[in-house]
Structure 1
Amino acid sequence: MLLFSLTLLQASAACLLTGLLLWGLLSLAQRRWPALAAQRSVWLGAQLVLTTAFLLPLLPDSQQLSVVPEVAVPVALVNQAFIAPADMALPAVAASVPSGAAWLALVPTAWGLIYLLGLAYSAWRYQRGRAMMHTLLTLAHPRRLHGLEVLQVDAPISPMLVGVWRPRLLLPAHLAQFTPEQQQLVIAHELTHARRRDPLFLLLATILQALLWFNPAARWLAGKLAWAQELGCDRHVLAGRSQRQRQQYAAALVKQLGLQAQSLRGLAFGGSKDGMIDRLVRLRDGQPCMAPALRALTALVLCAIGAASLALQPALAWTAATVPAEITAPPATAPMAWRNPLASMRVTGFFGVVRPTNPNGLRGLDLAARRGTPVQAVADGIATVSEDARLGKAVRVDHGGGWQSLYAHLDSVNVSNGDAVTSAQLIGTVGDTGRATGPHLHFQAWHNDQLQDPQSRLAGLDANASVRALRMRKEQFGR
């Protein structure tokens, strides 16, 4: 939960920065190339890039895409701020917490709650809009206009297309005040929306905007997409028509804006008054075309922004040690050291270290080895064999005096329950059974049913550890 909350906060910040970059670049590009305003693919593509920048970091192992150094996160601050499941208690703080800084631990959780509330509010607004549209449809009456089956309602709204999979044409009664030619142009505009599958694009944009409700750039891009859909329909309807018909179309648009009381969400002929001067100029002079090369360049720039937003997001690192509640310090009088469980040791994860796959701290040692590598008992004892979904095939050896060793994720087991084993005896081979990301040996040490740091019983681990394992331990434990 902690790791996800921190990642959500990081993904939200990255989404805001990506949105700022998209807003700046696309605003400059639109000034240089006005034809960009009518390209719905550009604005929808920008929304998809923004959503990818937000969602992809939330997926497992996505931080591996990062090419920048890790950012330190004070994990120790969460001791009192988060509640873990009963069978995996929250970490006990193993490093001192700076006075007055504990409130920082609440920031990720608070943002997670705020984000969920924002999603709920977006869903409520969408449902309210649907209810309003349903009310209009219940008041509408079917009729035929210019050979088409339409719904007519006596309300000051814009002519619009309603529905996604089976769009229906909803027309206001005041459309009768328009000339027959203007009526035909208005209906042609809405039918063009249906042929271009604009309702489906509008639904997708609404979903993306709800996911990114916190980002002003998402709302800006959604508005630009809706505007591009209107300009695109204008271009298709007026293609090849005379200047007089263009004037009739513009007059119908101005008249509709004067009659409608408000602009409803959807594909409407009148729409908003914002940018209407630019739209009328385009109706009069015709809309500029966007060269294929410019389209390809725009797509390439959007892909580059998306890739950069992911590659430049730093992975999360940890600055304070967190140790599972079951972990305790080794007894003051520990017996003699054990022999190593593998002939060739390669430590890739130290005890207690927090990783994305172990947010509550590693409960033992992770030792890299090929599948089939012999695993040997660290000391004399009595073996117990088990297998479960988490540890896979495992052997536990009771060495007496309350001490036990555990060997997990084995590929094969060479002992049976109750067998007496001797130090260095083969008890199994390395594998990746259970919840493992690859072949390795997970080794645990126990004393009186309490987890212990195996480093207190095994010698030479630092000299045989990977650079990453040593670095993570130093970041968290300072050693």
Structure 2
Amino acid sequence: MSLFTLTVLQATVASLLAGWLLQGLLHLAQRRWPVLAAQRSVWLGAQLVLAAAFVLPLLPDARQLSVVPELSVPVSLAGAAPGVALAMDAPAAGLPSGTAWLTLVPAAWGLIYLLGVACTAWRWQRGRAMLRTLLELAQRRRLHGMDVLEVDAPISPMLVGVWRPRLLLPAHLAQFTPEQQQLVIAHELTHARRHDPLLLLLATMLQALLWFNPAARWLAGKLAWAQELGCDRQVLAGRPPHQRQQYAAALVRQLGLQTQPLPGLAFGGGRMAERLVLMRNGQDRLPPALRALTALLLCAIGAASLALQPALAWTVAATPAAMLAAPSTASTAWRNPLDVMRVTGFFGVVRQLTPHGHSGIDLGARRGTPVHAASDGIASVSEDARLGKAVRIDHGGGVESLYAHLDRVALTTGMAVTAGQAIGTVGATGLATGPHLHFQVTRNGRLQDPQQWLDGLDANASARALRMRKEQFGR
């Protein structure tokens, strides 16, 4: 199980709770101010907040924005990397063996989430395929001085396409009066001027991302409804009562002729009774103060979701077997590999780049800082994509030390080195996010905690490194 799948599960819970809060507050707000129903910005903004509540916790270092300590479930990790045995049933760690099955939950949800995204994309693609079939059957003709696509099918007049929208009209539109035809076409052209197809595409992508969240579907429906009401308002603005009646009659007639709706911006969609009432009475605009209040509310919910999100998490406590089986005596004769020590990552800690537990310690330093041998031994030099330029020193008795991500190596394989001798300089070669020294110790092929061999690591550790170790190991 990777740390990423655990973070996805954590972000899912945060998104669900944020969605529940958003849906409840916006439902109450709409009952108090019905004008919100026609405001695209409100419903699109709520969708973006909901997406942020899910995506932001997945970003690196997102937990730094937290103001609430994490809640931990004492479950150990399985599937350790070679050389790091993570105890699943280790009684010495105080972990209840009955909770071991919980380690499968994040991985299972990660798979389910990907399947859900794929299923949502497939349904969307199937709807687009139906539209493409209609476009292939459609014939181009001129109607009221403009080119349109006409198809003999019981569909709604609709706008098709995002970057170059086209009008797709049903043949039965010829049964409408010329005035009704002009109003229907004006409705669809208003969608194009308002860039509604682009907003619809964005909403569809957000729905695919948040397919598991009922609030996301509710908000998408509200956005589509706001787009229709907004077009109604703009088309009918300043028109006399008889044209409003013609517009309403065209809508009623269209709903009686169409069958199953297709994905897109269609003239015949929506709740008929509410729409007719708004056409008769007109639609008010959202007051600036209420608009500002709504935007502030959405921002507050998004910020709170990110700041409080770790409180919803469960933290997996990884206990490397090498630590459980550490030697009873520790050597303090080793020299620190850097003159100025700054520990940025402790042994065994689970992080984004070390989901199976950190195999050594990380020492932050500037590029070019001299690196020294911790003890006497025979050196061997290597370079690969993960560790970059590295030096391994065999100290005898099955004990070896490793110095990785070096910028420059000052010796060759087979050379004898003494404690304190310069062996290279700090760099960021291999899989490294920045200049630092990765220092690692093994005994008879098993990873050891370098704190058994080096002094003063806690006193020279960053606050973040100490906090992460305390969260995961309680010390």
Question: Is TM > 0.5 for Structure 1 vs Structure 2?
Answer: yes
Distance verdict in 2 for CA 1:262–1:463, change over 3 Å: closer
Partner Cα separation in structure 2 for residue 142 and residue 430 of structure 1: 68
Aligned residue in 2 for 1:362? 358
Per-residue deviation, 1:66: 2.0
Matches of 1:314 and 1:358 in 2, distance apart?
Answer: 19
Match of 1:91 among 75, 80, 86: 86
Q: 1:139 to 1:317 in 2, by over 3 A?
A: closer
In the alignment, what sits opposite 2:214?
A: 216
CA distance in 2, matches of 1:211, 1:20: 17
2:309 maps to which residue? 313
Q: Is the 8 A contact 1:90 1:360 kept in 2?
A: no
Q: Which residue type is aligned with residue 6 of structure 2? A: L
Q: How many residues align?
A: 471
Within a 5 Å distance, the mapping from 1:69-468 to structure 2 comes to: 69-76=69-76, 78-79=77-78, 91-93=86-88, 94=90, 95=93, 97-272=95-270, 274=271, 276-314=272-310, 318=315, 320-323=317-320, 329=325, 337-466=333-462, 468=464
CA change 1:416–1:68 in 2 (3 A) is same
Check whether the contact 1:328–1:451 (CA below 8 A) recurs between aligned residues. Answer: no
Question: How big is the shift at 1:431?
Answer: 4.2
> Mean alpha-carbon deviation: is it higher for 432-441 or for 66-75?
432-441
Q: CA deviation at 1:75?
A: 4.4
| Contact 2:153 2:171 survives alignment (8 Å) | yes
- Give yes or no for contact 2:71–2:310 (8 Å, CA) kept in 1: yes
- For structure 2, the residue ranges without an aligned partner over 5 or more in a row are none
Cα deviation, residue 260, structure 1? 2.0
Bigger mean CA offset, 331-340 vs 362-371: 331-340
The aligned residue for residue 37 of structure 1 is: 37
SS of the residue 1:101 aligns to: helix
Residues 388 and 287 of structure 1, relative CA distance in 2, 3 Å threshold:
same
AA in 2 matched with 1:53 = A
Per-residue displacement from partner, 1:213-235 (whole Å, max 9, x unpaired)?
Answer: 11111111111111111111111
Residues in 2 aligned to 1:478 and 1:311: alpha-carbon distance in whole angstroms = 23
Letter in 2 for 1:134: R
Q: Go from structure 1 to structure 2 and tell me whether the alpha carbon gap of 1:472 and 1:48 turns closer, same or farther (over 3 Å shift).
A: closer
**In the TM superposition, what whole-angstrom CA distance separates every residue of 1:63-86 from its partner, at most 9, and x where no partner exists?**
22222212324441x42xxx577x
Task: State the Cα distance separating 1:15 from its structure 2 match.
Answer: 0.9
What is the SS of the residue equivalent to 2:310? coil
Identity rate, percent: 75
For the structure 1 residues 150 and 382, does the alpha-carbon distance in structure 2 shift closer, same or farther, using more than 3 Å as the test?
same
CA change 1:84–1:98 in 2 (3 A) is closer
The alpha-carbon deviation at position 416 of structure 1 amounts to 4.0
For the 8 Å contact 1:319–1:475, the answer to whether it is kept is: no
The CA deviation at 1:412 is 4.4
* Shift of residue 362, structure 1, vs aligned partner: 1.4
* In 2, Cα distance between equivalents of 1:130 and 1:472: 48
Amino acid at match of 2:99: A
Give the structure 1 partner of residue 14 of structure 2.
14
Structure 1 residues not aligned, in runs of 5+: none
| 1:280-302: CA deviation from partner (whole Å, max 9, x where unpaired) | 12111211012334333322332
Report if the CA contact (8 A) 1:327-1:450 is conserved: no
Q: Is the 8 A contact 2:335 2:420 kept in 1?
A: yes
Q: Letter of the aligned partner of 1:277 in structure 2?
A: A
Contact in 2 for aligned 1:19/1:215 (Cα 8 Å): yes
SS at match of 1:314: helix
Q: How far off is 1:113 after superposition?
A: 1.8
Structure 2 distance, partners of 1:407, 1:38, is 62
Q: Normalising by structure 2, report the TM-score.
A: 0.89
